[in-house]
Amino acid sequence: MKAEELIALVKFDSRGLVPVVTQDVSDNAVLMVAWANAEAIENTFKTEHATYWSRSRNELWEKGLTSGHFQDVEEVLYDCDVDTLLYRVRQQGAACHTGERTCFYRSAFKRAGG
Amino acid sequence: MKAEELIALVKFDSRGLVPVVTQDVSDNAVLMVAWANAEAIENTFKTEHATYWSRSRNELWEKGLTSGHFQDVEEVLYDCDVDTLLYRVRQQGAACHTGERTCFYRSAFKRAGG
């Protein structure tokens, strides 16, 4: 599928954004969740680097361009409702800006005996 | 951590919602992405069944109550910005309403030779 075909399918929200889950292909760890717009999807397909739309900086965010922590995209999937994307990546360095491997490094609940 | 403590930490959006990624503990597959409000988080902690807020039905959605496809929650994590949750679950039956195991069953891009 071409980027344009995916963009035509995706149900973007009122801001023109779609949530993206980023998963490490090495062990399926969930690394982060961010947002993409049409431009971010295009750039992801073109560069094969995971690209998002930064809501705080209001700009295209090809992860790794400043940090070197690129995410080489192996696969892009979309969900049943076509309102969420899944980037499967090979992560270079840490995904999280804190230096942690994944943004999900803190637990709020753990089942007893689990 | 108690549900109330997590709720106090979470940065809910303007609708009072936070995105939730749901992952299968058996192999780390990403099963679905949905939304939670404070009530959904409370119910998840209380019942140990993954609970969401259904935006289409505008009601609490304890997954499995009608389908039998409960998600037994093993762990709840939160991300660095505390604006996304990760439910790690044991999935009973299929996660997707289509009958597929995961909602992410369609691929839009695959790296050549990947």
Query: Do residue B109 and residue A84 have CB atoms under 8 angstroms apart?
Result: no
Q: Does B6 touch chain A (CB under 8 A)?
A: yes
Burial of residue A56 (CB within 10 Å: 0-12, 13-18, 19+) is: exposed
Q: Does A20 touch chain B (CB under 8 A)?
A: no
Assess contact for B39 and B6: CB atoms under 8 A.
no
Q: Which of A104, A107, A110 to mutate to test the interface with B (most CBs of B within 10 A)?
A: A104
Q: Does B114 touch chain A (CB under 8 A)?
A: yes
B8 phi/psi in degrees, rounded to 5: -70, -30
Cα atoms in the Cβ-side hemisphere of radius 13 Å centred on A75: 15
A40 sits in which H/E element? helix A38-47
DSSP 8-state symbol, A94: -
Closest CB to A109 among B9, B33, B75: B75
Query: Do residue A27 and residue B32 have CB atoms under 8 angstroms apart?
Result: no
- pLDDT above 80: residue A110: yes
Strand order in the sheet with A30-36: A30-36, A18-24, A85-91, A71-78, B106-110
CA B82 to chain centre: 15
Query: Do residue A104 and residue B73 have CB atoms under 8 angstroms apart?
Result: no
Assess contact for B71 and B89: CB atoms under 8 A.
yes
B chain contacts of residue A75, beta-carbon cutoff 8 Å: 107, 109-111, 114
Query: Do residue B100 and residue A107 have CB atoms under 8 angstroms apart?
Result: no
- pLDDT above 70: residue A114: no
**Alpha-carbon span B53 to B30, nearest angstrom:** 19
Q: Does A13 touch chain B (CB under 8 A)?
A: no
Tokens 């996304």 sit at which residue? Answer: B84
What DSSP letter does each residue of chain B carry, written as one string? --HHHHHHH----TTS-EEEEEEETTT--EEEEEEE-HHHHHHHHHHSB-EEEETTTTEEEETTTTTS--EEEEEEEE-TTSS-EEEEEEE-S-SSTTS-SSS--EEEEE-TT-
Per-residue pLDDT of A12-69, as tens digits, reads 999 999 999 999 999 999 999 999 999 999 999 999 999 999 999 999 999 999 999 9
Of B29, B31, B30, give the one whose Cα is nearest residue B97. Answer: B31
**Alpha-carbon span A80 to A58, nearest angstrom:** 28
Q: Does B8 touch chain A (CB under 8 A)?
A: no
Classify domain A3-91 at the CATH class level: alpha beta
Tokens 């695959």 sit at which residue? Answer: B110
Closest CB to A108 among B29, B78, B100: B78
Predicted-complex ipTM score: 0.95
- Per-residue pLDDT tens digits of chain B, which is 114 residues long: 999 999 999 999 999 999 999 999 999 999 999 999 999 999 999 999 999 999 999 999 999 999 999 999 999 999 999 999 999 999 999 999 999 999 999 999 999 875
Assess contact for B20 and B87: CB atoms under 8 A.
yes
A74 phi/psi in degrees, rounded to 5: -95, -35
